């Protein structure tokens, strides 16, 4: 019952490390019915999601997580994760601030991302 906070934390750490290093490697986190909402475009399916992520208009990116919270969202063990943070892309000096919500679903002892909703909240 309590493990979900650990899972959320590990997930978030893994997600951003992978995102910042090589975002095409995020494929393993999604399934064919997963949905990524990046700003207003919504993309479904592993290959489309990875295509979207890799085609984002920047090369270098660094995420800095400011807050992280998680709640169990159903008795079957799925987890709602909410992150706020900032990201620096390419040579930009000013961080862009964002919130991101994940809906994690358990599967064979592991988790995958059902929903991934990214939104900029302050374009500093």
Partner 1 sequence: MKNGKARGRPSASDRGGIRKRGAAKKVDREGDLVMDGNTTQARAKRGRGDSVRSGASSGTRSQTSTRAIDAIQKAISSNSESQQANIRQGGRASNLEQVRVNNWKGSKAKSNPDGGQESLIAFLEKKLSPPDARASARARITKVFITSVVLSDVLSFSVMSRLEGDAIIVSIKPELLNRMLQLNGFNFAGKILEIEKYDEAGIDQSMLPVNGSTPTAADTKAKMTAFLAKRFNRENKLLDLSDLRNDPDLIAMGIFQSTSTESKFFPALMKVWELNLSLVFDSPAARRQAVESVSLRANKLENLKMVTTLAQAFPDLKNLDLSHNDFKDAQSLLAWRHKFENLELLDLSNTPFSADPTFKDTMLKWYLKLRVLNGIEVRTAEELAALKKSPIPVQAPYFRDEGCIAENFIRAFFSGYDNDRNGLLDSVYDNESTFTLNINTAAPRAQQADVAAWDAYIKNSRNLLRITHLTARMSRSHNGAEKIRKLWNSLPATRHPDIAAHPQDWLIECYPIPGLVDPTGQSPTGVGGLLITVHGKYDEIGKGSKIDTRSFDRTFVLGPGGGAGGVRVINDILCCRAYGGNEAWAPETEGAAQPAAQQATPQQSIDQAAVPPQPVVGPPATPEGYGMPAPGKSETQVQQEQLVIQVMSQTGMTLQYSELAISGNGWDLDKALQDFAKLKEQGTLPPEAFLAGTV
Residue 27 contacts partner 1 per CB under 8 A: no
CB of 67 to partner 1, least distance (A): 4
CA 83 centroid distance within chain: 9
Contact 35, 44 (CB under 8 A): yes
- Candidate residues 33, 62, 107, 110; the one interacting with partner 1 per rule CB under 8 A: 33
The single residue listed with the structure tokens 């910042």 is 20
- Distance (Å) of CA 48 to CA 34, 37, 41, 107: 10, 12, 12, 21
Instruction: Decide whether 18 or 89 has the Cβ nearer to partner 1.
Output: 89
Options 29, 50, 53, 70; binder of partner 1; rule CB under 8 A: 70
62 touching partner 1, by CB under 8 A = no
Site string for partner 1, 72-111 (x = CB under 8 A): xxxxx-x-x-x-x-x--xx-xx-xxx-x-x-x-x------
Long-range Cβ pairs for the range 79-84 (8 Å, 24+): 79/4, 79/7, 79/8, 79/103, 79/104, 79/111, 80/104, 81/8, 81/11, 81/12, 83/12, 84/121
User: Could you list the residues that contact partner 1 (CB under 8 A)?
Assistant: 2, 5, 8-9, 32-33, 35, 37, 39-44, 48, 51-52, 56-58, 65-76, 78, 80, 82, 84, 86, 89-90, 92-93, 95-97, 99, 101, 103, 105, 114-115, 117, 119-124
């Amino acid at each position: 019952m309590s493990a979900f906070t650990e899972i959320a934390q590990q997930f978030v750490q893994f997600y951003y490390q992978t995102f910042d290093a090589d975002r095409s490697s995020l494929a393993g986190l999604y399934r064919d019915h997963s949905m990524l909402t990046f700003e207003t475009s919504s993309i479904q399916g592993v290959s489309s999601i990875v295509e979207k992520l890799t085609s984002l208009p920047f090369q270098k990116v660094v995420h800095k997580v400011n807050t992280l919270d998680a709640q169990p969202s159903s008795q079957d063990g799925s987890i709602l994760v909410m992150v706020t943070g900032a990201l620096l892309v390419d040579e930009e000096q000013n961080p862009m601030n964002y919130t991101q919500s994940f809906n994690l679903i358990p599967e064979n002892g592991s988790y995958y991302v059902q929903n991934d909703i990214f939104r900029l909240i302050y374009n500093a």
